Amino acid sequence: MENAKKLPLRIAFISLALTIATHLYLSLMHFGLKTGSAGGQSICSISDKFNCEAVAMSPYAELFGAPLALWALFFSLLIFFTLIGFATSKDARLYRWTVTLATVAVAASIVMASISLTKMATFCLFCIFAYILSVITLICLWITNQNAKFITTADIRGLFVNKWLSAGFVAVPILTFLVNDMNLREFKNATRSIKLSSIQEWSDNPIRDFSEFVGIKLGPENARFKIIEFADFLCPHCMHAASMLSGFALAHPDVQLTFYPFPLDSQCNPVVQMSDGGLRCTLAKLTLCADKHGKGWDIYHWAFKHFADKDVLTVSNASKEFALNEAELHTCIDSIELAKGISVNGNKAKEYGVQGTPTIFVNGKILPGGNLLIVLEALYNSL
């Protein structure tokens, strides 16, 4: 009987440890997106439907200015240490507190899952994993002990006597705000003036016409906030911005993202002086050709994902991975029409003030610093 009780308790510990690790990863991803230091697309962003970055940039991803993942991280740690206290002391009060806290975690998971289902078109796989773990934890705790499950009035009064438990409750919000501030304070201070000047400069810039450009679009045509990205697939800054921009568009149903290739290679872009072999041009054309088959954004993310491994970035590999006809792709890539389109992108972009990549426009106006989430969010919230 004793071993039968120990097994679910051990599973609860493992489940909580995995929960903590999951929320730690999601918190770090959130801060990476906020500061622009994210190293490309996260491992839990596999499609437009299942995209962790998009969920992390949604209006529901923060509570009082701190990421929900960080709140969940410290709340899970509180449950973990409360469970340690029960396992070592067999104190029934600590058991009841552990079960109650775990129940709150499940309730929060149900609320967040409901928001994902009803308010968003995108899901976070790691979040779903954390929701499942919270249920597993509660079930294991529930069958560990047959006594009263939830806290009593006496337990609540005793909270003020038990200094360790009361300190844990106080520590959750304090640590959440402290860690959030530590991660973002320096960045916010450094970018505060950039944010204000970027929005002011954007406001003063002229509206440009992009009807002649060739690119791919994500989001509704009637969007109130239209982002345009000029980027090159072998540009490191573009790689960092890519997942943030597409995630931002997916997280906001009133946002459209348009990608216009601006390869930094004279073989296809007349405003560039040097060439490094033509791979940049091939990737730009490959994206446009794949978009005719509904695979443009798949190629976009695939190219940036393999940014550091140029041997992978071939038409042959792309055709195999995304079930595209390689011969048709080559015909499209070699077409004169597509070459003219890329050339127009280069000439008109230079005329509009594009001097490098990535360059971001919003609602037809160039937005300095638009590759930073904090700038993009500030402009979005101001309109």
Q: Is the pLDDT of residue 119 over 90?
A: no
pLDDT value of position 229: 98
CA distance 379 to 383: 6
Question: Is residue 349's pLDDT more than 70?
Answer: yes
Q: The domain containing residue 311 runs over which residues?
A: 216-382
Per-residue confidence (pLDDT) for residue 1, from 0 to 100:
46
pLDDT at 207 over 90: yes
The band of 195, judged by pLDDT with boundaries at 50, 70 and 90, is: confident
pLDDT band, very low/low/confident/very high, at 4 (cuts 50, 70, 90):
low
Asked if 246 and 218 count as a contact pair (C-beta separation under 8 A), the reply is yes
Residue 120 to residues 57, 250, 267, 323: CA-CA distances in angstroms?
11, 9, 42, 29
Note the pLDDT tens digit of each residue in 269-287.
999 999 888 999 999 999 9
**Residue 63 phi, psi dihedral angles, 5° rounding:** -130, 115
Please check whether residues 114 and 170 belong to one and the same domain: yes
Q: Indicate which CATH number applies to the domain containing 309.
A: 3.40.30.10
Domain match, 63 and 126 both: yes
* Cα Dmax for the chain: 80
Half-sphere exposure in the Cβ direction for 240 (13 Å, CA): 18
The enclosing domain of 144 has a CATH number of: 1.20.1440.130
Whether 117 is covered by a domain: the verdict is yes
Phi then psi dihedrals of residue 359, to 5 deg: -120, 135
The tokens describing 43, both together, are 């491992």
Give the model's pLDDT for residue 57: 86
Average pLDDT, the chain: 91
Judge whether 152 lies within some domain.
yes
Q: In this structure, are 175 and 283 located in the same domain? A: no
Are 73 and 140 found together in one domain?
yes
Token pair belonging to 310: 């140029």
- Does pLDDT of 40 surpass 70? no
| CA neighbours closer than 13 Å in the CB half-sphere of residue 114 | 6
CA angle 80, 84, 85 (to 5 degrees): 120
User: Could you tell me which of 296, 294, 288 has the C-alpha nearest to residue 332?
Assistant: 288
Checking if the pLDDT of 251 tops 50, the result is: yes
* Residue 5 confidence class, pLDDT cut points 50, 70, 90: low
Say what the alpha-carbon torsion angle 118, 124, 125, 127 is, to the nearest 10 degrees.
-90
Interval 150-173 mean pLDDT: 82
Region 302-309 average pLDDT: 90
Would the pLDDT of 47 be above 80?
no
**pLDDT at residue 120 in the model:** 80
If asked whether residues 29 and 139 sit together in one domain, one would say yes
Going by C-alpha positions, the residue among 25, 71, 77 that lies closest to residue 52 is 25
Q: How many domains, in total, are found in the chain?
A: 2
Q: When comparing pLDDT for 98 and 155, which is higher?
A: 98
The DSSP secondary structure of 112-152, one letter per residue, reads HHHHHHHH-S-B-HHHHHHHHHHHHHHHHHHHH--S--S--
Please name which of 160, 183, 181 lies closest in space to residue 170, comparing C-alpha atoms: 160
Confidence of residue 51 (pLDDT cuts 50, 70, 90): confident
